[in-house]
Structure 1
C-alpha cells in the first residue's frame, strides 16, 4: 500500500525536492516517494541562477559534514534535527561497526521511519541505525538518547538547526553538548555557522522555503560575522578543531549554477562573500 506523505510540511518538502536534484544520497529516491502518485521530474533546464545557488548551498552543507567525519574515524554518531536527510542510512549501509542515531521532533521521525522502510535498504551487518525523537534543548531527553551508545567518544553533527535558535537557546544547546563531550570525548560538527548578509538579490525567493525562513526570522538569528561566532563558541567552552573548505566545483549543482549566472549576478555573489561555514569543535 502506498503511504501518504502529503502531511509533511511544505518547507520540508521544498527542501527535499531541491536536494533531489543533487547527488546527495537517497535524496532523489525520497523525493520520488514524497511526490507519489505524481512523478518527480527535476527541472534541469531551469535558468534561475538564484535557485541553483540555493541548491548548491544545501548540497555543500550536506557534504561538508561528511568530509569532517572522514578524518576522525567516528563509531558513535548522533545527528540533531536531521529532518529529511538520510546521512545515517547512507553511512550505515557502507560502514561496519558504526552506531548512528538520527534524531528530530516526533512527527518528523515517524514520517522518516516510513520513508526509510520504503527505501528498502539494510544497514551493514555490524552497524546500527536508530531513529529517535529528541528535543535538543531538553537535557534529560538528550542524556537518555546518548545512553543508547556504547562507551567511547561521540561525534555530534547538525545542519539546519542553530539558525532557528535564539541566543539563550544556542547557549543552552552548547551547555548540553559541552557536558556530554567532556564526559565522553569526541567532536561537535556543525554546518550552521551562518553570517548575517543581505541575500535579497541572490538566494531569497518567494516560495515555501522563503516564507518559512521569514516566518522563523532566521536572518535575525545568524551570527553577526565570523569573529562574533568564534567569540560565542569560545565563551561556551569550545575550540575550533577544523574549518571545512569544500570544493564547490566538485558538487553536482555547480555546473548549472555557473551556466545560468548573468554578469550582474557574478558581481553580486562576489560582493556577498562567504555566508556560511562548517566547523568541527571540541571541548577546551
Structure 2
C-alpha cells in the first residue's frame, strides 16, 4: 500500500509498529476511542493492544470525565469553524486528531495538518491505513514547530488565494508567556496577509491550588502535566486571557457554547456518578474555553 503526502511518496508497511507513540499521545488516543470522533476508534484498533482501563470506581469516573473533556474540546473547534466556511485550514499541534482527514472529503478544502516530527511520522502511517483511497480534497501532513515563522509561512504559502483558518487544541498551555507572545506574533502576521481567523480551544484557566493538589496525586497524566509546569503556564482568568490577546492584536469574534447533545461520551460519564456527585457538578468552575479570534480593527 502506498500514500501521497504533500507531493512525497511513502511506503506503508502492513506490519507498522505503533508502539513508538509517546505514552501521553497514546493515552489521549485511547480516550478518544470511546467517542464517535472521526476515525478515533479505528485508530485505536490499529494499536492492537489492550487499553489500560482503570478498575477503581473513582478512577473510572475521572477517566470518563477526561473523555468528555477532550471530546468537547475537539467538537468546540468544529462549532466555530463550520459557520465561517473557510476552506484553507492549517491545524497546529494536531496530535492524533483526524479532523483534517475528515474535512478533506470536501473537494474545495485544502487542509494542512501539522505537529512535531515524531508525531507526524506515525500519523502518516495511521492515515495510510485508515484511508488508503484518494481524497476529494487536499490534505498535507507536515512536521512543524509552530514557533518557526519561516516554516509556518512556507506551509501557509501553499494555500490558494483566500482567507485562512488557523486552529489548535492543545498547545498554549505548554508555552510560557514569551513563547505565547511569539506564536501570537506569527499568527497575526499571517492573518494580516491572508485574512481569516484563529480558533483555539486552548484557553485554560488555572485550577484552585487545593483542587490542583488533589488532581496531581497518584495520577500519571496529571504528574506528566505537573512535570511540564502546565498549571503555571495557564491563564490566571478568562479576563486576563482576553487582555493578553488584545495586547497581541486580537479580539474575540465568537466563544463556543457548550452543546451537550454533541458529546457522545457524556451519557456514559453520567452513569459513573452518584446523585451527590451529579449535584456537585453544578458548582464546578469552568476552566477552559474555545475562542475564535480575529485581528483587531
Give the alignment's TM-score, normalised by structure 1.
0.92
- Does 1:133 pair with 2:146? no
Residue pair 1:32, 1:39 contacting (<8 A) in 2 also: no
SS of match in other structure, 2:19:
coil
**Deviation, structure 1 residue 155:** 0.2
Question: Per-residue displacement from partner, 1:218-264 (whole Å, max 9, x unpaired)?
Answer: 11111101100010000000011000002124311111122222344
Give the RMSD, CA atoms, in angstroms.
2.2
Matches within 5 A, 1:26-65: 26-34=39-47, 36=48, 38=49, 48-65=60-77
Structure 2 CA distance for aligned equivalents of residues 144 and 87 of structure 1: 22
Contact 2:253 2:293 in 1 (8 A): yes
How do 1:149-188 and structure 2 match up within 5 A?
Answer: 149-188=159-198
Where 2:142 maps in the other structure, the secondary structure is strand
Please state how far the C-alpha of 1:31 moved relative to its aligned partner.
Answer: 1.0
CA distance in 1 between counterparts of 2:279 and 2:206 reads 19
d(CA) in 2 for partners of 1:71, 1:44? 41
Q: Deviations over 1:176-230 (max 9, x none)?
A: 0000001100000000001111344886574442232111111111110110001
The answer (yes or no) to whether the contact 1:202–1:269 under 8 Å persists in 2 is no
1:250 aligns with 2:257: no
Q: 2:16 is matched with which residue?
A: 3
Partner of 2:5: none
Partner of 1:101: 112
Q: 1:25 aligns with which of 38, 41, 46?
A: 38
Q: Does 1:148 align with 2:158?
A: yes
Does the 8 Å contact 1:189/1:281 carry over to 2? yes
Summarize the Cα distance change of 1:73–1:21 in structure 2 as closer, same or farther, 3 Å threshold. Answer: same
1:62/1:159 contact within 8 Å kept: yes
1:67 alignment counterpart = 79
For the 8 Å contact 1:50–1:203, the answer to whether it is kept is no
Q: Which runs of 5+ in 1 are unaligned?
A: none
TM-score w.r.t. the length of structure 2 is 0.88
Number of positions where the alignment pairs a residue of Structure 1 with one of Structure 2: 280
- Residue 6 of structure 1 aligns to a residue whose secondary structure is helix
- What is residue 131 of structure 2 aligned with on the other side? 120
- What secondary structure, in the 3-state scheme, does the structure 2 residue paired with 1:53 have? helix
Superposed displacement of residue 121, structure 1: 4.5
Q: Deviations over 1:10-30 (max 9, x none)?
A: 010001001100111111111
Measured in 1, the distance between the counterparts of 2:193 and 2:164 equals 10
Task: Tell me how far 1:268 sits from its aligned partner.
Answer: 4.5
Correspondence for 2:242: 230
Distance 1:148 1:220, change over 3 A: same
- For structure 2, the 5+ residue unaligned runs are 1-13
Contact 2:75 2:262 in 1 (8 A): no
- Asked if the contact 1:197/1:272 (under 8 Å) is kept, the reply is no
Structure 2 vs 1, CA of residues 99 and 179 (structure 1 numbering), >3 Å: closer, same or farther? same
Whether the aligned pair in 1 keeps the contact of 2:116 and 2:143 (CA below 8 Å) is yes
Residues 250 and 294, structure 2, Cα contact 8 Å, conserved in 1:
yes
Q: Distance in 1 between matches of 2:142 and 2:118?
A: 11
